[in-house]
């Protein structure tokens, strides 16, 4: 029930604002204690005042009671009782009833009213619980808040009778039944309440002002934050934002700036990639144009020249095709991991097949390719991507090799990963290039690489494919001696873990 109400309240847009919450909290925290204090203090004041009044009146009644006894007020013999003393006592009783706006009745042991300051009940018999209780147990009082009076019973105790009776406490010979008004107390309380309400209203105005000011001031850094983010979004500002007012805004700003830096880096790399792609695609086009133009410029060119130039044009078109194919492979690789077509593969068979396809190229360069399989390996992987990885590495090892060189392909596995190592006796990779060979379009020796037919995309594609399998690729290389690429891929594919990627030099 309570949760439902809270849910309903939460839906109100007003309460969703931090500003509104601060305002309400300050208002409640400021006002509730003062209201509670007012009620608490007034209640306590009333209780204390009634108690004090009862104590004062009872004291005076006790004195009168003693007077009554010493003047033999209850004595039946008229001689013992002088009319002057009766007048004095009556005057005292009148004075009390006037002073406290009340009524005093004196009741004797046979429950008969012998004196009533109102004069209406004299001679009547009163049988009330309070009076009887008073005869037995002493004084008592009771505050009737609703009707606005205090009623008390005060025993008149004859202590001289105690000596005769042998009792210690004396004998109750009569009871004074008094009721007094609480108007004076109520009046004071009303005045106090009035003053308190006045003060409360002043406080309310002050707290309202504080709540409004604080809710505006405390929220200001968040407004600044929104404004700064909006400026970045709208493109007015390119710089990092800064709102150092609160620890919270600093955290938000830090996270936002990091996001911004990442987006900028991504944007820069995208621009660089687009520039590289255009450049790479334009180069074969430019060659084709030069070749075609020079043919056109010679109307009488012999057929052999035409043939030679056409062959060059075809090779440039082949190159353009290779770049486009590699680019498409790379774009596919950048897509989501879920697009991997995972199946259980016999990696030994796959390696044999790839090497069979590549051997003719190796033969052309007189490079010997050997395959060493330590054990049969069956792994969960995407066949097309695994083929790309292996083909690229072996192709590079052949391409960047010396005449009469060798390429060694090793396949091994432990209980978790299988490793595919391609070592060659080639030209090697300089140390400063080791960390860059996976970049798109990066080639160590541009002209030589172009001659060989490289696009600079092969290792970028390889690395993406390895990472998609949650694997790692490492390279060790010594210039003029050879390189060794090691790929480590989990035998069982899981979308969560990664072996990491590192480059090193041996």
Binding residues for ligand ADP (CB under 6 A): 392, 396-397, 400, 424, 426-429, 437, 442-445, 449, 454-460, 483
Report the Cα 17 to chain-centroid distance in Å: 16
Angle, CA 170 vertex, CA 52 and CA 70 arms, to 5°: 75
Residue 323 or 381 having the CB closest to ligand ADP: 323
Residue 253 or 327 having the CB closest to ligand ADP: 327
Q: How far is the CB of 378 from ligand ADP (least distance, A)?
A: 27
Angle, CA 427 vertex, CA 330 and CA 273 arms, to 5°: 25
Residue 428 or 471 having the CB closest to ligand ADP: 428
Q: How far is the CB of 429 from ligand ADP (least distance, A)?
A: 5
Residue 53 or 443 having the CB closest to ligand ADP: 443
Q: How far is the CB of 426 from ligand ADP (least distance, A)?
A: 4
Contact call for residues 449 and 426 (beta carbons, < 8 A): no
Residue 49 or 476 having the CB closest to ligand ADP: 476
Contact call for residues 100 and 180 (beta carbons, < 8 A): yes
**Would the CA dihedral through 52, 55, 57, 63 be positive or negative?**
negative
Q: How far is the CB of 22 from ligand ADP (least distance, A)?
A: 58
Residue 241 or 461 having the CB closest to ligand ADP: 461
Residue 96 or 330 having the CB closest to ligand ADP: 330
Helix (H) or strand (E) holding 478: strand 472-478
Q: How far is the CB of 283 from ligand ADP (least distance, A)?
A: 13
Residue 187 or 430 having the CB closest to ligand ADP: 430
* Closest C-alpha among 177, 181, 150 to residue 93: 177
Long-range CB contacts (< 8 A, 24+ apart) of 117-124? Answer: 117/93
Q: How far is the CB of 456 from ligand ADP (least distance, A)?
A: 4
β-bridge pairing 406-413 and 171-181: unpaired
* Cβ count within 10 A of residue 498: 12
Residue 215 or 387 having the CB closest to ligand ADP: 387
Residue 27 or 281 having the CB closest to ligand ADP: 281
Q: How far is the CB of 398 from ligand ADP (least distance, A)?
A: 9
Residue number closest to ligand ADP, CB atom: 454
Q: How far is the CB of 438 from ligand ADP (least distance, A)?
A: 7
Residue 131 or 429 having the CB closest to ligand ADP: 429
328 secondary structure, DSSP code: H
Token pair for 330: 């790379």
Contact call for residues 20 and 215 (beta carbons, < 8 A): yes
Q: How far is the CB of 498 from ligand ADP (least distance, A)?
A: 21
Report the C-alpha gap between 277 and 271 in whole angstroms.
10
Contact call for residues 460 and 331 (beta carbons, < 8 A): no
Contact call for residues 238 and 263 (beta carbons, < 8 A): no
Q: How far is the CB of 342 from ligand ADP (least distance, A)?
A: 25
Torsion angle in degrees (nearest 10) through CA of 430, 395, 348, 410: -30
| Inter-helix orientation angle 247-297/183-234, to 10° | 20
Report the C-alpha gap between 348 and 368 in whole angstroms.
19
Q: How far is the CB of 439 from ligand ADP (least distance, A)?
A: 8
Report the C-alpha gap between 154 and 135 in whole angstroms.
9
Q: How far is the CB of 480 from ligand ADP (least distance, A)?
A: 10
Q: Tokens 């939460």 identify what position?
A: 10
Torsion angle in degrees (nearest 10) through CA of 361, 367, 368, 372: -80
Q: What are the helix (H) ranges across 235-370? A: 247-297, 303-334, 347-364
Contact call for residues 422 and 475 (beta carbons, < 8 A): no
Residue 417 or 438 having the CB closest to ligand ADP: 438
Token pair for 405: 């060189």
Q: Tokens 């050997």 identify what position?
A: 370
């Amino acid at each position: 029930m309570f949760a439902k109400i809270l849910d309903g309240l939460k839906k109100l847009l007003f309460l969703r604002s931090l500003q509104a919450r601060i305002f309400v909290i300050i208002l409640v925290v400021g006002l509730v204690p003062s209201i509670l204090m007012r009620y608490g203090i007034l209640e306590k004041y009333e209780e204390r005042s009634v108690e004090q009044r009862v104590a004062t009146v009872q004291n005076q009644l006790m004195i009168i009671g003693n007077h009554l006894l010493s003047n033999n007020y209850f004595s039946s013999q008229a001689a013992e009782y002088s009319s002057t003393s009766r007048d004095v006592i009556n005057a005292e009783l009148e004075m009390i009833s006037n002073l406290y706006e009340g009524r005093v009745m004196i009741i004797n042991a046979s429950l008969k009213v012998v004196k009533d300051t109102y004069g209406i009940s004299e001679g009547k018999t009163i049988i009330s619980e309070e009076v009887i209780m008073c005869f037995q147990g002493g004084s008592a009082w009771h505050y009737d808040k609703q009707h606005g009076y205090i009623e008390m019973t005060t025993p008149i105790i004859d202590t001289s009778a105690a000596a005769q009776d042998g009792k210690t406490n004396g004998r109750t010979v009569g009871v004074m039944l008094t009721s007094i008004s609480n108007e004076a107390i109520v009046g004071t309380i009303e005045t106090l309440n009035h003053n308190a309400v006045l003060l409360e209203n002043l406080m309310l105005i002050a707290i309202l002002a504080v709540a409004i000011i604080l809710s505006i001031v405390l929220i200001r850094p968040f407004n600044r934050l929104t404004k700064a983010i909006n400026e970045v979004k709208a493109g007015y500002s390119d710089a990092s934002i800064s709102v150092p007012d609160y620890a919270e805004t600093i955290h938000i700003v830090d996270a936002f700036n990091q996001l911004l830096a990442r987006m900028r880096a991504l944007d820069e790399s995208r621009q660089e990639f687009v520039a590289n792609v255009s450049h790479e695609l334009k180069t074969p086009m430019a060659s084709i144009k030069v070749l075609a133009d020079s043919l056109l410029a010679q109307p009488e060119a012999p057929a052999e020249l035409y043939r030679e130039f056409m062959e060059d044009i075809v090779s440039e078109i082949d190159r353009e095709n290779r770049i486009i194919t590699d680019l498409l492979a790379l774009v596919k690789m950048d897509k989501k991991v879920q697009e991997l077509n995972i199946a259980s593969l016999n990696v030994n068979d796959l390696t044999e097949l790839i090497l069979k396809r590549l051997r003719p190229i190796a033969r052309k360069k007189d490079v010997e390719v050997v395959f060493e399989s330590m054990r049969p390996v069956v792994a969960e992987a995407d066949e097309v991507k695994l083929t790309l990885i292996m083909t690229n590495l072996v192709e590079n090892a052949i391409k960047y090799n010396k005449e009469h060189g060798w390429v060694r392909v090793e396949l091994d596995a432990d209980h978790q990963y299988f490793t595919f190592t391609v070592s060659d006796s080639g030209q090697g990779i300089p140390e400063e290039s080791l960390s860059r060979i996976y970049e798109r379009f990066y080639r160590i020796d541009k002209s030589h690489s172009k001659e060989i037919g490289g696009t600079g995309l092969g290792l970028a594609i390889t690395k993406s494919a390895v990472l998609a399998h949650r694997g790692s690729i490492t390279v060790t290389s010594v210039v003029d001696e050879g390189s060794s690429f090691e790929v480590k891929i989990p035998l069982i594919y899981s979308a969560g873990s990664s072996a990491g990627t590192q480059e090193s030099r041996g």
